Amino acid sequence: MVGTTLSQQLNNYIQTMHEQGILDYHFDHVKALQNEENPRFVMEVISMFAHDAEAGIAHLTTVLNSAVVDFAKVISFVHQLKGSSSSIGGVRMALACREIRHACDNLDKERWREASSSPMRQDAVNHRCWRQIAINNRNIAL
């Protein structure tokens, strides 16, 4: 009974993230990879992503807050972050990264400041959502 409740809670949480535009259908593809042979796949993948995303956002924040911004580094971090977030269905984070990349490509300082501040802070919140999914998934598996 407890397991069912946790499972339903997780499904509801994921559905909410879909409705808020945080997740897209790629997450469902990743979820579908979990099976009896690999019962912890989703938890492992989300944990890896959450760790990588946290590190990536931290690096990006450091570079963006520098007196002289190294756009090549910004592009590099954002490229990796976009690839990772897209791969797990983190569409909102991926879109934020795309916006930053466009701004960097055009060396539009006003645009990248605007693109990087609000969405990246939002997506720092989003990546806490990923951690919550990982925690819920782990609790179900235990």
Partner 1 sequence: MAPAFPSGDDRADFGTGEHKQFSFHDIVLRNRLTALVVDGVDFCRLVEQGFLRSCGLETQGVNNGDAAVELIASGAKFDLIIIDMFLPVMDGLETTRRIRALGERCKIVGVSAYIGENDREAFLAAGGDVFSEKPVSPEVLIPILRELDGQYSNI
- Residue 46 CA to residue 107 CA, distance in Å, equals 33
- Residue 10 CA to residue 31 CA, distance in Å, equals 12
The answer to whether 87 contacts partner 1 (rule: CB under 8 A) is yes
Q: Pick from 14, 101, 119, 129 the residue near partner 1 by CB under 8 A.
A: 101
CA separation, residue 104 to residues 10, 61, 116, 125, 127 (Å): 37, 15, 10, 23, 23
The answer to whether 54 contacts partner 1 (rule: CB under 8 A) is no
The answer to whether 30 contacts partner 1 (rule: CB under 8 A) is yes
Stretch that binds partner 1, among 2-10, 20-28, 64-72, 122-130 (CB under 8 A): 20-28
Residues in touch with partner 1 (CB under 8 A) = 25-26, 28-30, 32-33, 38, 41, 44-45, 48-49, 52, 79-80, 82-84, 86-88, 94, 97-98, 101
